[in-house]
Amino acid sequence: MNKILIVEDEKDIRENIEDILICADYDVLSAKNGKEALKIIDSSIPDLIISDIRMPELTGLELLDMISRNIPVNIPFLLLTVLSSHEDIRLGMDLGADDYITKPFTSEELLNSVKSRLNKAIKNRTHIERLKTNIMKYIPHELRTPLTPLLGYSRILLEGIDSYSNDEILEMILTIKKSGLRLRNRIEKFILFSELLLFEEDYKNEQKNKKFKYYIESNQVMNLLQDDLNEREKDLIIVFEPCRLFIWKLYIESIIKELIENARKFSDKGSKIKLEGRKKLRFYEIAVTDFGIGMTRDEIRNIAAFEQFNREQFQQVGNGLGLAIVKLILGSINGTFKIESNKGEFTKVSVSFPII
């Protein structure tokens, strides 16, 4: 049974909403202002919050802001408002409200809004769980692939190294090295993915207490990427608006590294790669633009959906576990993922997440 918290200072309206939701088999909690609501949330996190905007002591907008800052769980939030409160609605949506209901409303309108938001939340959680499951199926194949040439050429050299010229031996050794590096890269990604799953709850608890602080700026990002550029240092343009983020170091650095690896992989040496970071209201946006092969609309749609791990598709579009890591992180921090591209011209990948 879904648990819904009602925050409304007008008793008649609050009780009316309670009756409607109870009759629809929802578990209902209620508070007459934002302060009471915070106490309830501290002991029992609801599946959805319905809150009036204008209330004494702590308004609905202030409540929404405090929840966004302090509660490490994405709780769908519906605002109750009157038709004339356009500015309040705008502020609420900027703060992260999922939707609003205008007063007066019918029982049907209320229940439809509640059902829609709860279904969306369930869909998001299901998507993340499916993503985790599919990654675990995908990983063994990805670890075996680079082992094939590594073991094959090693066997050839051990069985008859004298049968080959120095150039042939050198070529096989270079292939072994390349396969070893690919294997190391994939193992590191697998370890990272495992850490993300293992420490997800720890992260949420630490985030709630504001223990994660990460100061981001251009020089710091350049130092982070120094070992990952592979002779592309001169191609990279980095412009970051300095900002203190309350985010796990592992999360933010993983996002940046995976996005740069993708851009580097699909653009030629000598073409520019732009890496930008800037504040947008209460969010921080990181965007990576490369001027390489680009993508079609169908390819973008396939990546945006990104639920099933099709090995052939991954080898073609070249994302694999790295993209899964980025999307898993964003799912944990209420972030968003966006791709813009023109085939043969450019690809821009943007991620956005709450600053605090």
65-86: per-residue pLDDT in tens?
888 777 766 788 888 887 556 6
pLDDT tens for 132-167 read 676 666 667 767 788 888 999 999 999 989 889 999
pLDDT tens for 170-229 read 999 999 998 898 888 778 877 777 777 666 655 655 555 555 678 999 999 999 998 777
- Residue 90 pLDDT: 64
pTM of the model: 0.54
Residue type, 321: L
What is the 3-state secondary structure of 36-65? HHHHHHHHCCCCEEEEECCCCCCCHHHHHH
- Residue 61 pLDDT: 85
- Residue 129 pLDDT: 72
Q: Are 51 and 8 in contact (CB under 8 A)?
A: yes
Instruction: Please name the residues in contact with 252: beta carbons below 8 A apart, sequence gap of 6 or more.
Output: 214, 216, 245
Q: Are 287 and 339 in contact (CB under 8 A)?
A: no
Residue 318 binned pLDDT confidence (cut-offs 50, 70, 90): very low
- Choose the weakest-confidence range: 151-155, 262-266, 314-318: 314-318
pLDDT tens for 243-253 read 998 888 888 99
Looking at domain 201-356, its CATH class is alpha beta
* Percentage of the chain lying above the pLDDT 70 cut: 81
Instruction: Please name the residues in contact with 159: beta carbons below 8 A apart, sequence gap of 6 or more.
Output: none
- Residue 85 pLDDT: 60
Q: Are 271 and 290 in contact (CB under 8 A)?
A: yes
Looking at domain 3-124, its CATH superfamily turns out to be: Response regulator (3.40.50.2300)
| Cβ burial, residue 252 (10 Å; 0-12/13-18/19+) | buried
Find the mean pLDDT for residues 330-338: 83
| Cβ burial, residue 302 (10 Å; 0-12/13-18/19+) | middle
Boundaries of every domain in the chain: 3-124, 145-198, 201-356
